[in-house]
Amino acid sequence: MSKSGKKKILIVDDAQFIRNRIKKVIETMEFAEVAGEASNGDDAISLYKELKPDLVTMDLVMPNTDGIKAIEEIMKFDKKAKIVVVSAMGQELSILEATEKGAKDYIKKPFKEEDIYRTIEKFLKA
């Protein structure tokens, strides 16, 4: 939790416009804020360790270290990590693998803003 008392969220996606869309949704939440952004799995892992966010939105297909590997590393570091996969249709196997590695939920792209809001709210206001 941040100084403002809001829950911290780390957004991970290689596409800037997707990060911006997710950030826009989070900015409407009274209980959460964006703690950081990463465009690949390596940055996601190091930012997670540094920021210790309350929740991570994780893309699966990214350059260098992909989302699956990042989830694996984050879960090794913090078994209680809350990771929500945000990934495109047609990646059911990857989504299944991500869930096996520790992801708590997933949102399919293209997503609606309310899907992002509802899913984040479910994990952070529980």
What are 50's two structure tokens?
């540094």
Query: Is residue 63 reached through a cis peptide bond, with omega within 30 degrees of 0 on the bond before it?
Result: no
Q: Is pLDDT at 21 greater than 70 in this prediction?
A: yes
Q: What is the pLDDT of residues 28-79, one digit of tens each?
A: 999 999 999 999 999 999 999 999 999 999 999 998 899 999 999 999 999 9
Residue 1 lies in a domain: no
Helix ranges restricted to H, the chain: 16-26, 41-51, 67-77, 92-101, 113-124
Note the pLDDT of residue 126.
Answer: 65
60 closest CA partner among 111, 110, 113, 97? 97
The domain tally of the chain equals 1
Return the higher-pLDDT residue of 92 and 46. 46
Query: Is residue 110 reached through a cis peptide bond, with omega within 30 degrees of 0 on the bond before it?
Result: yes
Mean of per-residue pLDDT scores for the chain: 95
42 closest CA partner among 19, 69, 9? 69
Residue 66 lies in a domain: yes
Note the pLDDT of residue 3.
Answer: 75
Rounded-to-integer distance, Cα 70 and Cα 61, Å? 11
Enclosing domain of residue 45: 7-124
The pTM is what? 0.95
Residue 2 lies in a domain: no
Strand partners, 110: none
Residue 94 lies in a domain: yes
Looking up residue 24, the CATH number of its domain turns out to be 3.40.50.2300
Q: What is the DSSP letter of 43?
A: H
What are 28's two structure tokens?
């409407």
Note the pLDDT of residue 92.
Answer: 79
